């Protein structure tokens, strides 16, 4: 989606980020006309909805590499595979515009009970959670005070506690608005400003579904932090649908749509046949091939060497993922020799709008179903069936791929014949290589829920991972970090960290040590013994 240009001045917005700012950021420019003029809420909401999804969270980006869905074998055209992420980016712009929307909502409506105020609460909470789950403690309660250039850090627990209150407030405000005027339930909040084009009720569902994600992310802290009421809050949402409506199906998904201007992320690579410079990861394809998952028949291709070795293109054992433990030089050699599978060229490379690809779901129904199934498995909810929600999650994911029982799908040759040494029939890139028949019934038998036990929990987490292929930003990596499922590959030189260990967090922004050194030093001393160490856990995942 192309952002509309914001042509008016926002210089009157003080520095409202989590991190400290230079003094020049805080001074209103007296030469700018209308510096304290009303700012259209539509434009603020447009910016918020269009920028909440970062470049690294989109399909085929760093988040996909971090979750080992996609492994690069050539850095220049893709990225390196190492997990030495270094300093984080921040969510300053989301918080800044959320606070501005909050101010303008009150100024223009004369109250703090309108829809824009409600959405400002969601985005404030989102910005805090986005950053704290990357680094740990952050400035939050003092963030946005233009008179305080060195905001103190809130500990991670307090950030979550405050954010959960904001999310609950946002839900209550939307509920009250809909109750007062029932037609608002199906009314779009702001067709000009909201790129997701959600109705009042859909935003309410989105906020509660996101809250379930946040509560599940606190599973390691649910029992030793009674004041957070993680279990009670989760159960309250599920048991009170009138108060807390949640997503009812894929139609409620938060989907980021591409167009001819804001093009699908890897569309431009097809112009130079660069599909050969990355491969699906072994973590992803190993799960898919072992369970005979029909989704890999459309996302990926068999490895050419497996087919020339005698296997059918429909043979799940012919789907072979690459290993990020290896150096990129080794990965490229292996890839050129046809040892690895490739992404489906016709599905992902030929449409600038991603019309052939599955939708890019940022927060969605399938994930919500798995989160509920996990909560039931953990004993957080009674009167619900984990198996039912587990199957709902799987089926919702299958539906986003438009897969149906008995469907014949084409397997297309993935790369230019000049770039691979194993070409079974002298095929050109995109040519039909063969067909496969979708067998959903067999797949569901292979992944039948084992019950509310450790095996069942592993299944829920594994299928959530499979459903998040090229979706949901960093959420698959965060789930791994929290649960260890699936067991991402590590230990080799290609990982890029000490002893090939996967990181537990990002380092703080480099500017923080320069502009807010006292509070920064205290935060890393309190959490990590004085070293901003990405291999150490913050409170959330200890």
Band the pLDDT of 76: cuts 50, 70, 90. Answer: confident
Work out the angle at residue 183's Cα, subtended by the Cα atoms of residues 253 and 366, and round it to the nearest 5 degrees: 15
What pLDDT was estimated at residue 417? 61
Q: What is the pLDDT of residue 30?
A: 43
Q: What is the Cα–Cα distance from 248 to 271, expressed in whole angstroms?
A: 40
Q: How much is the pLDDT for 197?
A: 97
Does 31 have pLDDT greater than 70?
no
Contact 351, 267 (CB under 8 A): yes
Residue 275 is predicted with a pLDDT of: 66
* Per-residue model confidence (pLDDT) at position 325: 97
* CA terminus-to-terminus distance, the chain: 38
Residue 348's pLDDT is 93
Element housing 346 (H / E): helix 345-348
pLDDT of residue 19: 43
Q: Identify the structural domains of the chain with CATH numbers, from first to last.
A: 1-47+93-246+507-535 (1.25.40.390), 268-493 (1.20.120.840)
Main-chain phi, psi angles of 457, to 5 degrees: -65, -40
Share of the chain above pLDDT 70, in %: 91
Q: Which tens digits make up the pLDDT trace of 440-491?
A: 999 999 999 999 999 999 999 999 999 999 999 999 999 999 999 999 999 9
Pairing between strand 432-437 and 408-412?
antiparallel
pLDDT number for residue 427: 84
Express as a percent the part of the chain with pLDDT over 90.
83
Question: What is the number of residues in the chain?
Answer: 542
- The confidence band for 393, taking pLDDT boundaries of 50, 70 and 90, is very high
Q: Which residues pair with 343 in a beta bridge?
A: 300
* Model confidence pLDDT, tens digit, residues 139-148: 999 988 888 8
d(CA 347, CA 275): 12
What are the DSSP calls for 394-462, one per residue? Answer: HHHHHHHTT--TT-EEEEE--S-GGG-S--TT-PPTT-EEEEEE--HHHHHHHT----SSHHHHHHHHH
Which two three-digit tokens encode residue 438? 């979708």
Helix (H) / strand (E) element for 332: namely helix 328-336
pLDDT band at 7; cut points 50, 70, 90: very low
Mean pLDDT for 54-76 is 94
Among the listed ranges 106-110, 251-255, 257-261, which one has the minimum average pLDDT value?
Answer: 257-261
437: tokens are 């028949």
Quick one: CA dihedral 102, 103, 105, 106, positive or negative? Answer: positive
Task: State residue 404's pLDDT score.
Answer: 96
In the block, which residue shows the tokens 């030089």?
329
* Strands 254-256 vs 360-363: parallel, antiparallel or unpaired: antiparallel
**Alpha carbons 166 and 102: distance in angstroms, whole number:** 12
Rounded distance between C-alpha atoms, residue 488 and residue 169, angstroms: 37
- Of 25-39, 479-493, 501-515, the least confident: 25-39
Q: What is the pLDDT of residue 373?
A: 98
Tell me, what's the pLDDT at 273? 54
Beta bridge partners, 138, equal 154
Confidence at residue 25, expressed as pLDDT on a 0 to 100 scale: 35
Using pLDDT thresholds of 50, 70 and 90, give the confidence band for residue 368. very high
> pLDDT tens across 399-437, in order?
999 999 999 999 999 887 656 667 767 788 889 999 999
Reported as a single tens digit per residue, the pLDDT across 16-25 is 334 433 333 3
Q: Which of the residue ranges 15-19, 261-265, 389-393 would you say has the lowest mean pLDDT?
A: 15-19
């Amino acid at each position: 989606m192309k952002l509309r240009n914001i042509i008016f001045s926002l210089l009157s917005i003080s520095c409202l980020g989590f991190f400290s700012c230079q003094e020049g950021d805080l001074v209103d420019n007296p030469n700018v006309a209308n510096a304290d003029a009303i700012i259209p809420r539509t434009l603020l909401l447009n910016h918020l909805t269009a920028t909440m999804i970062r470049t690294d969270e989109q399909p085929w980006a760093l988040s996909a590499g971090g979750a080992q869905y996609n492994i690069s074998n050539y850095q220049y055209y893709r990225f390196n595979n190492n997990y030495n992420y270094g300093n984080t980016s921040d969510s300053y712009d989301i918080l800044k515009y959320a606070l501005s929307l909050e101010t303008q909502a009150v100024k223009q409506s004369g109250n703090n009970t309108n829809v824009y105020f409600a959405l400002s609460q969601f985005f404030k909470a989102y910005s805090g959670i986005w950053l704290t789950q990357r680094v740990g403690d952050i400035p939050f309660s003092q963030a946005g005070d233009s008179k305080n250039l060195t905001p103190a850090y809130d500990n991670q627990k307090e950030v979550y506690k405050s954010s959960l209150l904001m999310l609950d407030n946002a839900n209550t405000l939307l509920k009250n608005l809909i109750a007062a005027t029932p037609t608002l339930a199906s009314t779009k909040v702001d067709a000009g400003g909201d790129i997701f084009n959600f109705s009042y009720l859909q935003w309410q569902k989105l906020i509660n579904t996101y809250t379930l994600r946040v509560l599940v992310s606190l599973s390691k802290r649910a029992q030793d932090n009674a004041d957070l009421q993680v279990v009670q809050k989760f159960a309250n949402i599920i048991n009170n649908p009138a108060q807390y409506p949640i997503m009812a199906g894929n139609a409620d998904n938060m989907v980021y749509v591409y167009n001819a201007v804001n093009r699908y992320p890897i569309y431009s690579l097809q112009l130079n046949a660069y599909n050969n410079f990355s491969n699906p990861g072994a973590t992803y394809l190993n799960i898919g091939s072992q369970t005979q998952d029909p989704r890999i028949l459309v996302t990926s291709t068999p490895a050419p060497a497996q087919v020339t070795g005698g296997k059918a293109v429909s043979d799940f054992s012919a789907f072979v993922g690459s290993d990020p433990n290896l150096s990129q030089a080794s990965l490229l050699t292996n890839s050129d020799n046809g040892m690895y599978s490739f992404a489906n060229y016709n599905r992902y490379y030929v449409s600038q709008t991603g019309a052939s690809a599955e939708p890019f779901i940022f927060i969605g129904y399938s994930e919500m179903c798995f989160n509920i199934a996990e909560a039931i498995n953990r004993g957080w909810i009674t009167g619900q069936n984990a198996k039912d929600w587990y199957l709902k999650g799987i089926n919702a994911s299958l539906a986003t791929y438009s897969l149906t029982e008995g469907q014949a799908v084409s397997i297309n040759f993935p790369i230019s014949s000049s770039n691979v040494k194993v070409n079974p029939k002298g095929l050109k890139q995109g040519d039909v290589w063969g067909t496969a028949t979708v067998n959903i019934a067999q797949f569901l038998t292979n992944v039948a829920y084992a019950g509310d036990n450790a095996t069942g929990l592993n299944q829920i987490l594994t299928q959530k991972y499979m459903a998040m292929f090229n979706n949901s930003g960093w959420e698959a990596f965060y789930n791994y970090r929290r649960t260890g499922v699936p067991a991402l590959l590590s230990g080799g030189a290609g990982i890029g960290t000490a002893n090939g260990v996967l990181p537990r967090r990002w380092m703080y922004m480099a500017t923080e040590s320069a502009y807010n050194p006292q509070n920064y030093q205290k935060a890393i001393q309190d959490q990590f013994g004085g070293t901003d160490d990405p291999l150490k856990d913050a409170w959330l995942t200890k």
